[in-house]
Chains A and B, each alone.
Chain A
């Protein structure tokens, strides 16, 4: 179905040095060696086929799954590159797969563009490429086209990756940020803030030793089962940068509704709570890489929740709140203490408080 079959196998290049130099970005043999030996070797199946400047698909491959294409792109810059629960490669695949899946799409193909700082070790690059390949294989998507650039030391931070994804949306689905209505239920698929906390800890500059791991995961299967169980689902979005607070505000704004969430129902790991307490951060704004906010009509909420809890990536799923009105656009939280507060968009970056 997918790549047009090729006739003649080509010879594969080999990298013979231990780190990337500007020569690997020069367009010549060194670049070909790097692509062959690091990226194609990891991404596998078509390595010996002639390389074109584009991946080619037969339209029929898409038509089998739906009536619309979904197309998305995302860039990944993370420090450190490897962190508890994941690495930049896994992140780059999961992030784009999730951006397709939250729209109801079946993720199919990814591109991979990598910007590499000179001096990065070839071994490190291989690890990242293998992590991408492994994650893509597990997710059932293929990385079919890519690009590499090498920039002088200091011009980027080790490795930046951009992935673009294509998928197809089944004809029955029409999720939209404008579709939330008063009475709808708001669900999340588990413990919030793990990724943000794990990354901050992994940077090591606050000398906090915690067992928190990133929740980085591909969610398309989970989303598939939600949509099967609750076909009238209004909207799904992954709560990445800015956390669930940001997504809830996007829904409030997009649908012109007010959302009220219950602090006592919002699932947050004890370690993340303690971490936020120490630094004066708010877990509602911490990034996630494996968490979605799901808005469903109330009569399908139970079915959606049950389907989520059955999936390994949704065991701690919870009903965190409701869409309460179509008069105003705002998000409020009923606190564990019995009070009520606004949950607004973050103004800038969350900064640790002085005391």
Chain B
């Protein structure tokens, strides 16, 4: 595939790995531990496992898999709300595919579908709007989910529905924002992280400026990274370069997609449609201030939370689950008490086992060798 295969070139990877090894050997490592680099985004976690990058890196570098999988961090209470809306016989509930399996306290959307709810998988919110046009006697609800990456497409769909005067379409808005989340991680006590691989697709929308505080205030280097394996290796190389030279900056490896100033049209749509929530609940991380958005009053008629009666009950994460510690890099997935025993991809207890982008599910699915080696 053109423009893809170039970034999966094994020859170039070997050269880069050589350079990374050379760089690492010239860096003074933190006392008694390797360098901890966090990839914030679930898309990166997926690529890292899919291409087996962890096994290629020198042992002085350890990747910490961050919270950037929007499917994983969705709390049970919100899934319960989805199910409650979906079980309304008037409703066609539409969702991205991988949100179907996220467990609620009673059931997942997949189970709700099996029990008779009209739950349909869509690939874009515009598909949901099309369903609303074709089913004027039904209420079509789109499950708005994801970071800034998917936020604009939901916003633009709402603007489109408004301009067409479509009244049987609404959004159950669970969009979340990346910056407060990174801040929450940086503020957690005992944090040991030496640098960040920044989320490429979020940055395509918001640009690189919103991350400056990470470099300036928290003194951690960040490189906004693409998703192909060479992108990730090059970004790691750039992080090491910063660490070696004692710099803390926000750099952009993914300039072919990410303009430093972001995407203005997308940002305008986002600002037009959403406002920040005071706080939003995350699975594994708890409540984080200003980390979620909801629809502004002007667009209240498209807000499924106001249109439908939802339970809106906060369900605590299971006590045995240690997702928070794994998300912050304090524990490895396989060090969690319930990893692979009561928490598996079939019956996930915690956020990180839910989607293939979650660190635990990725280890469970792809990372068996390392896991077994470490357990023994």
Residues in chain A within 8 A of chain B (CB atoms): 205-207, 264, 270, 273-274, 277, 279-280, 282, 330, 332-333, 335-342, 344, 347-348, 351-355
Contact = CB atoms under 8 A, between A and B. Distances in A.
Contacts of A353: 46, 96-98, 355-357
A337 B57 CA distance: 12
B71 interface: yes
B100 interface: yes
Nearest to B357: A353
A351 B366 contact: no
Given A207-B123, A352-B96, 9 more contacts: A205-B121, A205-B122, A337-B13, A338-B52, A344-B364, A347-B365, A352-B121, A353-B356, A354-B70
Given A273-B1, A335-B51, A342 B46 contact: no
A340 B4 CA distance: 19
Contacts of B56: 337-339
B98 A339 contact: no
A196 B162 CA distance: 37
Contact of A270 (B1, B71, B201, B356): B1
Of listed A206, A341, A351, A354, residue having the most chain B CB within 10 A: A354
A330 B370 CA distance: 13
B339 interface: no
Contacts of B46: 280, 353
Interface of B: 1, 4, 8-10, 13-14, 17, 43, 46, 49-56, 70-71, 96-101, 110, 121-123, 127, 145-146, 149-150, 201, 229-230, 344-346, 355-357, 364-369
B366 A341 contact: yes
Nearest to A340: B52
Contacts of B53: 337, 339
Nearest to B149: A355
A342 B1 contact: no
A277 B4 contact: yes
A37 B366 CA distance: 53
A205 B346 CA distance: 27
Given A338-B56, A341-B50, A341-B51, A351 B121 contact: yes
Given A332-B369, A352-B97, A353-B97, A341 B49 contact: yes
A338 B9 CA distance: 9
A355 B10 contact: no
A347 B43 contact: no
26 contacts: A206-B123, A273-B1, A274-B1, A277-B4, A279-B123, A280-B98, A336-B51, A337-B8, A337-B10, A337-B230, A338-B10, A338-B56, A339-B55, A340-B52, A342-B365, A342-B368, A344-B365, A347-B345, A351-B97, A352-B98, A352-B123, A353-B97, A354-B96, A354-B97, A355-B70, A355-B201
A274 B4 CA distance: 9
A205 B124 CA distance: 10
A159 B85 CA distance: 32
Contacts of A282: 50
Given A330-B368, A352-B121, A335 B146 contact: no
B192 to A, nearest CB: 25
3 smallest beta-carbon distances between A and B, as pairs: A339-B52, A351-B97, A352-B97
Contacts of A336: 8, 10, 51
Nearest to A354: B96
Given A352-B123, A354-B145, A341 B52 contact: yes
Nearest to A345: B365
Nearest to B353: A347
Contacts of A277: 1, 4
A333 B195 CA distance: 30
A340 B53 CA distance: 8
A60 B346 CA distance: 49
B257 to A, nearest CB: 13
Contacts of A207: 123
A205 B126 CA distance: 12
A279 B10 CA distance: 24
A343 to B, nearest CB: 8
A340 B98 contact: no
A335 B97 CA distance: 26
A206 B97 CA distance: 12
A345 B52 CA distance: 17
A284 to B, nearest CB: 11
A353 B50 CA distance: 14
B72 to A, nearest CB: 11
Nearest to B69: A354
Contacts of B230: 337
A277 B97 CA distance: 15
A151 B173 CA distance: 41
A313 B372 CA distance: 40
Contacts of B70: 354-355
Contacts of A347: 344-346, 365
B79 to A, nearest CB: 15
A352 B71 CA distance: 12
A350 B146 CA distance: 19
Most buried by B among A207, A337, A338, A342: A337
A335 B52 contact: yes
Contact of B51 (A264, A339, A355): A339
Given A348-B101, A354-B70, A342 B146 contact: no
A354 B121 contact: no
A180 B19 CA distance: 41
A150 B4 CA distance: 50
A340 B369 contact: yes
A347 B99 CA distance: 15
A354 B146 contact: yes
